[in-house]
């Protein structure tokens, strides 16, 4: 008799294994549901986007094709933050639409979430050339924007994907192997939220053995969501 938790683990691995097609239906990223935002929130998001678009003397911005601002549901209680757009994201102007994004969709799906149920952004809104890591100066420049973004969305759960997001928002001296899989209560401006750090999907593609730990983190998010009744 296989235990329920083992069955769930098998289902998760089937879902996130990059070589397995778990569902033949293509994800339609263009079918946006209408989210009834308050006027305040809609205006704040517009102003924030405008202020990023108006950045002067930013090499990242000057070399990128598009701003990558957000995806998902701005009314969601769950916000995910990655590092920076890659080539596909730069082309489409949406976060996590390349291979790492496909894995992220599968990870979300393993805990019954999808892009219509969460909100997604990045620390940096423009693609760093050759997908290099953003520099300290670049992170410093974009930090006020992502902090404001968190304040506007006011998530109850904030998921930081990878060490760049963790170091930018929690502190430079942290190591992801020690910090992942824990809840940290944190205040960003006026927004008090429960933060969890987990591995970036691109890292999980390089280190598939770590998917086991990512599953623990995902279950923590699922359980927190249940406990908060959100
Ligand atoms: N990696 C990220 O951190 N963000 C994206 O949007 C895509 C890949």
* pLDDT at res. 10: 75
Residue found under tokens 């591995």: 199
- Find out whether the beta carbon of 84 lies less than 6 Å from any atom of ligand 1: yes
What local confidence, expressed as pLDDT, does residue 25 receive? 55
Of 85, 120, 127, 206, the one to substitute when testing ligand 1's pocket (max ligand atoms within 8 A of C-beta) is 85
Q: What is the pLDDT at residue 22?
A: 41
- Tell me the per-residue pLDDT of 134-187, one tens digit each, with 9 for 90 and over: 999 999 999 999 999 999 999 999 999 999 999 999 999 999 999 999 999 999
Mutate which of 67, 92, 100 for ligand 1 pocket (most atoms within 8 A of beta carbon): 100
CB 122 within 8 A of CB 160: no
Q: Which two tokens stand for residue 61?
A: 């911005």
Please give the pLDDT value at position 28: 61
Task: Quickly state the pLDDT bin for 30 (edges 50, 70, 90).
Answer: low
Strand partners, 183: 196
The pLDDT score that the predictor gives to residue 224 is 98
Q: Please tell me which residue, 82 or 37, carries the higher pLDDT value.
A: 82
Nearest-angstrom CA–CA distance, 7 and 23: 18
Our answer on whether the CB atom of 85 is closer than 6 Å to any ligand 1 atom is: yes
What is the pLDDT at residue 57?
92
Q: State which ligand 1 atom lies nearest to the alpha carbon of 68.
A: 6
Q: Are the C-beta atoms of residues 115 and 105 closer than 8 Å to each other?
A: yes
- Give 92's Cβ-side CA count (13 Å radius): 15
pLDDT at 109 over 70: yes
Is residue 227 over pLDDT 90? Answer: yes
Q: Position of tokens 């009834």?
A: 36
- Residues with Cβ within 8 Å of 86's Cβ and at least 6 positions away in sequence, in order, are 98, 100, 127, 131
* Whole-number pLDDT of residue 31: 58
Q: Assess whether pLDDT exceeds 50 at residue 21.
A: no
122 lines ligand 1 (CB under 6 A): yes
The domains of the chain, with CATH numbers, are: 43-227 (3.40.470.10)
pLDDT per residue as tens digits for the range 50-91: 999 999 999 999 999 999 999 999 999 999 999 999 999 999
Backbone angles phi, psi at 103, to 5 degrees: -70, -40
């Amino acid at each position: 008799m296989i235990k329920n938790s083992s069955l769930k683990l098998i289902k998760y691995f089937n879902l996130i294994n990059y070589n397995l097609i778990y569902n033949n239906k293509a994800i339609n990223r263009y079918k946006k549901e209408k989210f009834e935002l308050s006027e305040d929130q809609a205006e704040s998001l517009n102003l924030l986007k405008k202020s990023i678009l108006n950045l002067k003397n930013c090499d990242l911005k000057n070399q990128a094709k598009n701003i990558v601002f957000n995806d998902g549901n701005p009314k969601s209680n769950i916000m995910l933050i990655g590092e920076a757009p890659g080539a596909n994201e730069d082309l489409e102007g949406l976060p996590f639409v390349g291979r790492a994004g496909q894995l992220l969709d599968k990870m979300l799906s393993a805990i019954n979430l999808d892009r219509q149920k969460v909100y997604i952004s990045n620390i940096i809104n423009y693609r760093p050339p050759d997908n290099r890591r953003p520099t300290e100066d670049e992170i410093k420049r974009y930090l006020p924007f992502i902090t404001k973004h968190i304040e506007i969305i006011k998530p109850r759960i904030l998921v930081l994907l990878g060490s760049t997001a963790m170091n930018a928002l929690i502190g430079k001296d942290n190591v992801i192997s020690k910090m992942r899989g824990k809840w940290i209560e944190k205040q960003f401006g006026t927004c008090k939220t429960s933060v969890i750090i987990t591995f970036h999907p691109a890292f999980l593609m390089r280190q598939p053995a770590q998917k086991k730990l990512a599953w623990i983190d995902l279950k923590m998010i699922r359980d927190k969501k249940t406990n908060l009744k959100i």
